[in-house]
Homo-oligomer: A and B are copies of this chain.
Amino acid sequence: MSEVKAYGAKASDADLEQLNIKRRTPLATDVHIEIDYCGVCHSDIHQVRNDWKNSKYPVIPGHEIIGHVVAVGSEVTKFKTGQQVGVGCMVDSCQNCEACDEGLEQFCENGMTATYNGKDKHLGGHTFGGYSEEIVVDEKFVLNVPDNLDIKAVPPLLCAGITTWSPLRQWNVQKGDKVGVVGLGGLGHMGIKFARALGAQVVMITTSPEKSEDAEKLGADEVLISKDDKQMKEHANSFDFILNTVPVGHDVNPYLNLLKRDKTMVLVGAIEPLKGVNGGALIVKRKRLAGSLIGGIEETQEMLDFCGEHNIVSDVEMIDIQTINTAYERVVNSDVKYRFVIDMQSLKK
Contact = CB atoms under 8 A, between A and B. Distances in A.
A170 B291 CA distance: 20
Contact of A290 (B269, B274, B289): B289
Interface residues of A, number: 34
Interface in A260-280: 261, 264, 267-280
Given A99-B261, A261-B99, A288-B290, A272 B282 contact: no
A285 B170 CA distance: 13
A176 interface: no
Interface string A273-314: 111111111111111111111000000000000000000000
Contacts of A264: 288
Q: Report which residue of A170, A271, A272, A292 has the largest number of chain B beta carbons within 10 angstroms of its beta carbon.
A: A271
A289 B288 contact: yes
A279 B274 contact: yes
A79 interface: no
B107 A261 contact: yes
A290 B279 contact: no
B273 A278 contact: yes
Given A99-B261, A107-B261, A290 B286 contact: yes
A286 B286 CA distance: 18
Q: Report which residue of A107, A268, A274, A283 has the largest number of chain B beta carbons within 10 angstroms of its beta carbon.
A: A283
